[in-house]
Amino acid sequence: MKKNTKESLRAQINDTNAAVREKRRQRYASYRKKGNSEAGEKPSDFKGTLRRLLSLLAKYKFSVAAVLICAAAGTLMNVVSPDIMGDIISMFSDQLDVKLTGGAMDLGPIKLELLKVFGLYFGFAFLEFLQTFILVGVTQKLVCNLRESINNKLSRLPLSFFDRFTKGEILSKIVNDCENISSRLQSNFTSVLTSVIQVSAVLVIMFMRNWLLAIVTICLVPISYFITRAVAKRSKVLFREHWDMLGEMNGHIEEMYTGHNIVRIFGHEKEADEEFTDIAEGLYNVTWKANFVSGLAKPLLNFFSNINYVTICLLGALLITGRLAFGAEADIGLIIKFISFSGLFTGPINNIAATISTFQSTLASAERVFGVLDEPEAVPDSGDAELPAARGLVEFDHVSFRYLPDVPLIEDLDLTILPGQTAAIVGPTGAGKTTIVNLLMRFYDVTGGEIRLDGVNINDVPRGELRSRFGMVLQDTWLFKGTIRENIAYGRDGATEEEIVAAAKAAFIDEYIMSLKDGYDTVLEEDGTNLSQGQRQLLTIARALLCDPPLLILDEATSSVDTRTEAKIQTAMQTLMDGRTCFVIAHRLSTIKNADTIIVMRRGSIVEQGTHDELMAKDGFYAMLRNSQYQDGIPPEDIE
């Protein structure tokens, strides 16, 4: 029987591994296709995203108005300068003619005009600096507020959101996408603004000087429009793919490097490298295409700009020599003006075209950020009921719950835990043990029935009020970068030094802390990586002890400590648990022998309930689970 069970288990493991390998192959193929596809995921609403992004600037309307004034004034200075330079050249040409006829040159007016030009160029440079200085402050404040909004939003999102996205993808939206919005918005906003003003001003001046040369110059506009439209249409799709792929890469890196020990232990370095290579190749392909396509606009427009220069010079020569029968009179100064005007006119058009193309990257990032901000939040608190003085009576009344609408997990569950009882929840993986705790803490809301705490429906109690009644120690430890004292004191605001030390002693971690050079002032690395897993577990237990809550939830709280330390912690916890309602989730059944009641779950239902001795006497499912931990083999019921 044991042999058949082992063979069956091995067969299932082999099938699972084969399925995982097939899934990986499919993912590799999707990465390659995504990097080389011509279709890609088309953004849903770029116009709406643009309007929404610009609406964020309304908060800084005075700063934006100052930027607009500086841009308008500076651009007009820049546009008027070539017109004056053309006049200077014409004046100098006239003075040369005077000298050739034996007269004296009068350079006074020329010097005056030169001073005007220098003044205009200096004013243009100063105003450009000023508008950039103001805009940097605006964009940085905007992005800072955007990051704060995302951070606040994440605290209000249900756990189902974090089940759908990897940490790397979420981090990419907070860091990479917001940074892209900051850098692109800062450069593109000023660029488009000044370009529009400059084009309008130059157009008016050109028609005032010579209508024929003006028409030749603006012939570039329709060509620029069609080139820009074609490039923007393709590049916005590619930039959206780029940021999606970057999020995929961040997720993979976070996943692989967080669990690098596991990857090495099971010898999956090659698979991890292959997956990273495939993602990187997909990212390379789509990034190369996005930048190549967006970069096509500038050389194409420069080509037609150069043709425009040649045409102006040719027509100007014909006008000066009188070989062209129509058009206003022209001199060398006018031709030089129009060569400058052509650059001032076509340059901004080319710039707008390139900006529109690269701005797709900004909008792609903004759409991803707004996507997070638009995520449906956890169901808001619908009641303001107050919990009575804590007794710890917990009742599950015909509770039903399912993570997916079509996949039932818990159906019609009835359970009562009396005040002060220690209830151990056991069962195979996936039986619903942790789900019970998630429902009790309202990380998820029930889909049927109700849960009552001290006679009050928890759905009528604000989540903050409800969760303040619980202390929790999880199997997965969480410590932040800071001192040991700060990590323990996280359990309760205003805790004194004596209380912190007492909690550490009760968790049997004080002796180790005092052996460190800086004691309680020792700074922990991120997630406490400079401690062993067992030491991290003891610190989280000390934090829970300091919290001193009416109800306790212990989810495999001693899974990472040795048996001797576990026995000491169990003794210490008995004092803490005395008189409190406690929920203990355990796989090591030896740790819950003394529980007041043991709840045995299987496939979302309670199949047995009683004390350890009562359940062992029944020789039922609990007894099979218990015996499987001391015998070579796993019951078939546990494998299903």
**Which of 323-327, 451-455, 544-548 reaches the highest mean pLDDT?**
451-455
Between residues 577 and 155, which one has the greater pLDDT? 155
Q: 């020789």: which residue's tokens?
A: 619
pLDDT of 494 higher than 70: yes
pLDDT of 250 higher than 80: no
- For residue 426, is it within any domain? yes
pLDDT of 581 higher than 50: yes
The whole-number average pLDDT for the span 358-365 is: 76
What does the alpha-carbon distance between residue 549 and residue 552 come to, in Å, rounded to a whole number?
A: 7
The whole-number average pLDDT for the span 402-410 is: 79
Residue 216 sits in a domain of what CATH number? 1.20.1560.10
Where a domain ends, among 342, 373, 404? 373
In this structure, the answer to whether residues 233 and 263 fall within a common structural domain is yes
* E strands present in 422-534: 422-426, 448-453, 456-457, 470-473, 482-483, 523-524
pLDDT of 123 higher than 80: yes
**Opening angle at CA 251, ends 247 and 253, nearest 5:** 115
Say how many Å lie between the first and final Cα of the chain, rounded: 16
- For residue 249, is it within any domain? yes
In this structure, the answer to whether residues 310 and 287 fall within a common structural domain is yes
**Six-digit token string for 584:** 């203990």
Q: Report pLDDT digits (tens) over 40-91.
A: 333 456 678 888 888 888 888 888 888 888 888 888 887 777 777 777 777 7
Domain range enclosing 129: 53-373
- For residue 400, is it within any domain? yes
- For residue 161, is it within any domain? yes
- For residue 25, is it within any domain? no
pLDDT band at 1 (very low <50, low <70, confident <90, very high): very low
In this structure, the answer to whether residues 191 and 269 fall within a common structural domain is yes
What does the alpha-carbon distance between residue 132 and residue 616 come to, in Å, rounded to a whole number?
A: 77
| HSE-CB for 53 with a 13 A CA cutoff | 28
In this structure, the answer to whether residues 253 and 365 fall within a common structural domain is yes
- For residue 335, is it within any domain? yes
DSSP string, 279-340: HHHHHHHHHHHHHHHHHHHHHHHHHHHHHHHHHHHHHHHHHHHT-SSSS----HHHHHHHHH
Between residues 358 and 307, which one has the greater pLDDT? 307
Among residues of the chain, what percentage have pLDDT more than 70? 78
CA dihedral over 435, 436, 439, 445, signed as positive or negative: positive
Specify the pLDDT at position 575. 63
pLDDT band at 20 (very low <50, low <70, confident <90, very high): very low
Order of all β-strands in the sheet with 410-417: 410-417, 394-401, 448-453, 456-457
Specify the pLDDT at position 40. 34
Q: How many domains does the chain have?
A: 2
| Lowest-confidence region among 197-201, 332-336, 362-366, 506-510 | 332-336
In this structure, the answer to whether residues 306 and 421 fall within a common structural domain is no
**Which of 35-49, 117-131, 235-249, 273-287 reaches the highest mean pLDDT?**
117-131
In this structure, the answer to whether residues 125 and 207 fall within a common structural domain is yes
Specify the pLDDT at position 220. 67
Helices (H) and strands (E) counted in the chain, each on its own, are 22, 12
Instruction: Give the global pTM.
Output: 0.59
Residues whose CB falls within 8 Å of the CB of residue 453, separated by 6 or more in sequence, listed in order: 387, 393, 394, 461, 466, 469
**Six-digit token string for 277:** 């290579």
In this structure, the answer to whether residues 411 and 319 fall within a common structural domain is no
| Lowest-confidence region among 160-164, 350-354, 533-537 | 350-354
Specify the pLDDT at position 357. 64
> If you average pLDDT over every residue of the chain, what do you get?
76
pLDDT of 412 higher than 50: yes
Specify the pLDDT at position 639. 40
Specify the pLDDT at position 327. 56
pLDDT of 18 higher than 60: no
Q: Report pLDDT digits (tens) over 323-345.
A: 665 655 666 777 777 777 777 77
Residue 460 sits in a domain of what CATH number? 3.40.50.300
Where a domain ends, among 349, 373, 397? 373
In this structure, the answer to whether residues 261 and 184 fall within a common structural domain is yes
pLDDT of 432 higher than 60: yes
Backbone angles phi, psi at 626, to 5 degrees: -60, -45
- For residue 106, is it within any domain? yes
**Six-digit token string for 501:** 């030390």
**Which of 23-37, 243-257, 312-326, 615-629 reaches the highest mean pLDDT?**
615-629
- For residue 633, is it within any domain? yes
pLDDT band at 26 (very low <50, low <70, confident <90, very high): low
In this structure, the answer to whether residues 191 and 335 fall within a common structural domain is yes
In this structure, the answer to whether residues 70 and 202 fall within a common structural domain is yes
**Which of 94-98, 131-135, 336-340 reaches the highest mean pLDDT?**
131-135
Could you say which DSSP state residue 102 is in? Answer: T
What does the alpha-carbon distance between residue 186 and residue 57 come to, in Å, rounded to a whole number?
A: 12
Specify the pLDDT at position 43. 43
pLDDT of 549 higher than 50: yes
pLDDT of 28 higher than 60: no
Specify the pLDDT at position 2. 43
Specify the pLDDT at position 637. 42
Could you say which DSSP state residue 596 is in? Answer: S
In this structure, the answer to whether residues 201 and 263 fall within a common structural domain is yes
Specify the pLDDT at position 638. 43
> Quick one: which of 631, 465, 617 has its CA closest to 551?
465
Q: Is 520 helix (H, G, I), strand (E, B) or coil?
A: helix
Q: Report pLDDT digits (tens) over 568-580.
A: 666 666 766 777 8
pLDDT band at 153 (very low <50, low <70, confident <90, very high): confident
